[in-house]
Amino acid sequence: MDLSPPCDIEFIHVFEEEAQARSMAEAVKPPGGRVELFEPEELEEEEIEESVWEVVYTFTIVPTHEDITARETELSKTAQSPVDRADGCGVMHG
């Protein structure tokens, strides 16, 4: 996979409680990105480890180590919650 052109990178945070997930989704409105909130019922059966809410941030960027790390760090600072955990990031391609 050629990582030199811009592509969509998803950063996922999971929450046990709806209120915390909604708070995170509303607290961080990334410039140049989008935010989606997924209820447990919206997730695929194989995606559900437990009943969790997912907040997914998507940015269209050239995926460099520095940029990905900076975005993960910024999201994690905002997300700091005892019931939140970062659940990784991924490259979306067709």
Sheet bearing 7-15, strands edge to edge:
33-38, 53-61, 7-15, 84-92
pLDDT tens figures, 42-89: 655 555 556 788 899 998 888 888 988 888 888 877 766 655 666 766
Using DSSP, state whether 27 is helix, strand or coil: helix
Instruction: Retrieve residue 12's tokens.
Output: 């996922």
Q: Domain extents for the chain? A: 11-59+79-92
pTM: 0.76
Q: Average pLDDT over the chain, rounded to whole? A: 78
